[in-house]
Amino acid sequence: MLEALGIEFVEINAERVEATMPVHDMTRQPAGLLHGGASVVLAESVASIGSWNLVDREKEFVVGLEINANHIRGKKDGIVKAVGTPVHKGRTTMVWDIQITDEADKLICISRCTIAVRTHETTS
Protein backbone atom coordinates (compact mmCIF):
# COMPACT_ATOMS: atom_id res chain seq x y z
CA MET A 1 0.00 0.00 0.00
CA LEU A 2 2.87 2.37 0.78
CA GLU A 3 4.19 2.03 -2.75
CA ALA A 4 0.74 2.39 -4.34
CA LEU A 5 0.10 5.65 -2.48
CA GLY A 6 3.65 6.94 -2.89
CA ILE A 7 4.43 7.13 0.84
CA GLU A 8 8.11 7.71 1.55
CA PHE A 9 9.80 7.80 4.96
CA VAL A 10 12.15 10.74 5.48
CA GLU A 11 13.14 10.29 9.14
CA ILE A 12 12.75 7.47 11.65
CA ASN A 13 14.06 7.73 15.20
CA ALA A 14 12.87 7.13 18.76
CA GLU A 15 11.24 10.56 19.09
CA ARG A 16 10.00 11.37 15.59
CA VAL A 17 8.90 9.77 12.36
CA GLU A 18 8.39 11.81 9.20
CA ALA A 19 6.91 10.63 5.91
CA THR A 20 5.60 12.28 2.77
CA MET A 21 2.81 11.38 0.36
CA PRO A 22 1.84 12.97 -2.96
CA VAL A 23 -1.68 14.16 -3.56
CA HIS A 24 -2.41 12.53 -6.91
CA ASP A 25 -4.97 10.25 -8.57
CA MET A 26 -4.27 7.36 -6.17
CA THR A 27 -4.83 9.54 -3.06
CA ARG A 28 -7.72 11.78 -4.20
CA GLN A 29 -11.43 11.20 -3.66
CA PRO A 30 -13.94 11.77 -6.51
CA ALA A 31 -14.30 15.52 -5.79
CA GLY A 32 -10.56 15.91 -6.41
CA LEU A 33 -9.43 16.41 -2.81
CA LEU A 34 -7.04 14.36 -0.71
CA HIS A 35 -9.03 11.32 0.45
CA GLY A 36 -9.43 11.11 4.23
CA GLY A 37 -8.66 7.40 4.04
CA ALA A 38 -5.31 8.14 2.41
CA SER A 39 -4.49 10.52 5.25
CA VAL A 40 -5.38 7.79 7.75
CA VAL A 41 -3.16 5.28 5.92
CA LEU A 42 -0.30 7.79 6.08
CA ALA A 43 -0.90 8.46 9.78
CA GLU A 44 -1.11 4.79 10.77
CA SER A 45 1.97 3.97 8.69
CA VAL A 46 3.96 6.61 10.57
CA ALA A 47 2.77 5.30 13.95
CA SER A 48 3.38 1.68 12.99
CA ILE A 49 6.90 2.24 11.68
CA GLY A 50 7.69 4.41 14.70
CA SER A 51 6.51 1.71 17.09
CA TRP A 52 8.23 -1.06 15.12
CA ASN A 53 11.46 0.93 15.45
CA LEU A 54 11.08 0.92 19.26
CA VAL A 55 10.48 -2.79 19.93
CA ASP A 56 12.76 -5.83 20.04
CA ARG A 57 11.80 -7.18 16.61
CA GLU A 58 13.13 -10.65 17.38
CA LYS A 59 10.60 -11.00 20.22
CA GLU A 60 7.86 -8.48 19.40
CA PHE A 61 5.77 -7.09 16.58
CA VAL A 62 3.27 -4.22 16.39
CA VAL A 63 -0.25 -3.85 15.01
CA GLY A 64 -2.66 -0.95 14.81
CA LEU A 65 -5.25 -1.01 17.59
CA GLU A 66 -7.15 2.28 17.16
CA ILE A 67 -6.90 5.41 15.04
CA ASN A 68 -8.84 8.62 14.74
CA ALA A 69 -8.41 11.55 12.42
CA ASN A 70 -9.73 15.07 12.16
CA HIS A 71 -9.57 16.39 8.61
CA ILE A 72 -8.95 20.12 8.95
CA ARG A 73 -8.31 21.38 5.43
CA GLY A 74 -8.66 20.03 1.91
CA LYS A 75 -5.75 19.58 -0.48
CA LYS A 76 -5.98 19.15 -4.27
CA ASP A 77 -2.37 18.51 -5.30
CA GLY A 78 1.22 18.67 -4.16
CA ILE A 79 2.77 16.83 -1.24
CA VAL A 80 1.67 16.30 2.35
CA LYS A 81 4.05 15.59 5.21
CA ALA A 82 3.18 13.53 8.29
CA VAL A 83 5.16 13.95 11.48
CA GLY A 84 4.51 11.47 14.25
CA THR A 85 5.68 11.78 17.84
CA PRO A 86 5.14 9.20 20.57
CA VAL A 87 2.84 10.28 23.39
CA HIS A 88 3.17 6.97 25.26
CA LYS A 89 5.80 4.26 24.84
CA GLY A 90 4.49 1.37 26.91
CA ARG A 91 5.26 -2.31 27.17
CA THR A 92 1.98 -3.40 25.53
CA THR A 93 0.76 -0.25 23.79
CA MET A 94 2.15 2.88 22.19
CA VAL A 95 0.22 6.03 21.39
CA TRP A 96 1.30 8.41 18.63
CA ASP A 97 0.25 11.94 17.70
CA ILE A 98 0.49 12.52 13.95
CA GLN A 99 0.13 15.88 12.25
CA ILE A 100 -0.22 16.06 8.48
CA THR A 101 0.67 19.39 6.89
CA ASP A 102 1.08 20.84 3.40
CA GLU A 103 4.10 22.53 1.84
CA ALA A 104 3.24 25.79 3.66
CA ASP A 105 3.01 23.96 7.02
CA LYS A 106 -0.79 24.42 7.08
CA LEU A 107 -2.52 21.69 9.06
CA ILE A 108 -4.39 19.23 6.84
CA CYS A 109 -5.17 16.47 9.34
CA ILE A 110 -4.42 15.56 12.93
CA SER A 111 -4.53 11.96 14.06
CA ARG A 112 -3.92 9.87 17.16
CA CYS A 113 -3.04 6.21 16.74
CA THR A 114 -2.75 3.47 19.36
CA ILE A 115 -0.46 0.59 18.49
CA ALA A 116 -0.51 -2.79 20.24
CA VAL A 117 2.82 -4.42 21.02
CA ARG A 118 2.56 -8.21 20.75
CA THR A 119 5.05 -10.99 21.36
CA HIS A 120 5.84 -13.70 18.83
CA GLU A 121 4.51 -17.05 19.97
CA THR A 122 7.17 -19.65 20.54
CA THR A 123 6.67 -23.22 19.40
CA SER A 124 8.29 -26.33 20.83
Residues forming the active site:
44
In 3D space, the residue among 84, 80, 4 whose CA is nearest the CA of residue 45 turns out to be 84
DSSP 84-122: EEEEEE-SSEEEEEEEEE-TT--EEEEEEEEEEEEEPPP
Cβ–Cβ contacts within 10 Å for residue 119, how many? 11
